[in-house]
Amino acid sequence: MTANAKTFDLTFRGEIQPRRDSGRVKSRLAEYLHIDDQAMLEQLFSGQTVYLRRDLDRKSAAEHFRQLSQLGCQVALVDSSKREQATGNGTLSSKPDQATAGPVKRENTAATGDQKEVALPTEDAPDQRWPVSQARIDRQRRAAMEKKAREEAREKAAEEVARLTRLEVELNRRAEQEIARIRTESDTTRHNAEAELARLGRLQEQSQQLTQAQLTRLDEQHRDQTRLTRKKLALLEQIQRENTSQSQQEIDQYEQSLQETRRRTDTQIQQLERRLQELRQQANGELTRLQEQLSAATARAEQDAEQLERQRAEILVPVDDEARAVTEQRETINRQAEQDRVELEHLKKEVTQKFDRELARLEELELKARRKQKAKIDHLSKTIASARKIAGETTAAV
């Protein structure tokens, strides 16, 4: 250090920075200054001004000021020339504005570069010095810093363990909520499927009832139509029998008339042999006329029979058509009912399959959620175990 270089003194009046624990600040300052005597440590916090370091260059002064500020002490850097001007005879009072409480010798400027002193004023006692090698101070300072780092690491590890524990609790809570939501959705889906199945069952029952009612109505209509057809057939048969009976009576009458004519002719043959030739011609003509009348009557009877047959056919054809129409309508209704039943069965099967698929999907989601929760819990457990292991190793190292 050159003679003209500006130097500084590091002073301390026992003041602690706000929101700092006084006990911890005192213990750290004792470690930093290597003070084992508790009474001597308390003198540093008596309120008197104490020179902790003297004649420091700018860089060393800034380093010591920073380290002591980190420890929580409120220190001050003073120009060394002011101290020399204030003392004059090589002594310095504990408080520049008051009487000297005790003599304090100045730091030996001829000391080697690795020797420093801390002067503590005591009442009615000479100054006390703690010559400590700079290497030892550095080692002790590094040890203190390492101890502080270990404490900070331990605090961080504890905070990390607490954070991970809170995270584990939060994940468990979220997983339980997710599982509860999935179960609620599963119950809702199952309830909706059961309601849909019940509705389809009611629809199927109503369709069956409606189909049965339609079949019953068609059966009644068919029975009514059959009775009506039978009545019409009976009436036609009666009309046919009446017409046939009338034609037979006419034929019988013509035959009786013919027999009567023949009898009269036979009885008159003997009486009118003289007129045989004329009467034979007349008889032949009469016979021819009677035969023509018989043929006409027979033809008329056949025409009546054919007409009755045509009427009967004309009546039977609509009846048969109507019967076939009723049969076809019944078959159509049966086919429609069968189609409705098949569609209802298919719809019921689809709803059941959909319900089974939805239930399987929800169960798979629940299984995935449980697996994901287990993986997260395992990961958190490993992280907590690792943090605890690191904290244990740090504590063991301390």
> The whole model's pTM is what?
0.29
Residues 6+ apart with CB under 8 A from 255: 294
Tell me if 379 is assigned to some domain: yes
Tell me if 46 is assigned to some domain: yes
Same domain, 204 and 126: no
Residues 6+ apart with CB under 8 A from 73: 12, 15, 16, 17, 25, 29
Tell me if 119 is assigned to some domain: yes
Tell me if 277 is assigned to some domain: no
Same domain, 111 and 185: no
Query: Which of 102, 130, 158 represents a domain boundary (last residue)?
Result: 130
User: What is the reported pLDDT for 94?
Assistant: 33
Number of domain units in the chain:
2
Same domain, 78 and 14: yes
Same domain, 97 and 231: no
Question: Mean pLDDT of residues grouped by 10 in the chain (398 residues)?
Answer: 75 93 93 90 90 92 94 93 60 33 33 39 36 62 88 85 84 87 87 86 85 84 86 84 76 78 76 75 78 83 83 72 82 87 87 86 88 87 86 77
Q: How many residues does the chain have?
A: 398
Same domain, 84 and 180: no
Neighbours of 117 (CB within 10 A): 19
Same domain, 191 and 112: no
Same domain, 330 and 209: yes
Tell me if 212 is assigned to some domain: yes
Same domain, 124 and 179: no
Tell me if 25 is assigned to some domain: yes
Same domain, 111 and 189: no
User: What is the reported pLDDT for 317?
Assistant: 67
Q: Which residue has the tokens 């001829």?
A: 110
d(C-alpha 312, C-alpha 149), whole Å: 124
Q: Which phi and psi angles does 130 have, rounded to 5°? A: -125, 85
Tell me if 267 is assigned to some domain: no
At 293, the amino acid letter reads Q
Same domain, 183 and 311: yes
Tell me if 213 is assigned to some domain: yes
User: What is the reported pLDDT for 213?
Assistant: 87
User: What is the reported pLDDT for 276?
Assistant: 66
Same domain, 118 and 244: no
Same domain, 64 and 197: no
Query: Which of 100, 130, 160 represents a domain boundary (last residue)?
Result: 130
* Radius of gyration of the CA atoms of the chain, in A: 69
Residue-range definition of the domain harbouring residue 82: 8-130
Query: Which of 67, 96, 130 represents a domain boundary (last residue)?
Result: 130
Q: What angle do CA 289, 290, 292 make, to 5 degrees?
A: 65
Beta strands 120-122 and 115-116, pairing class? unpaired
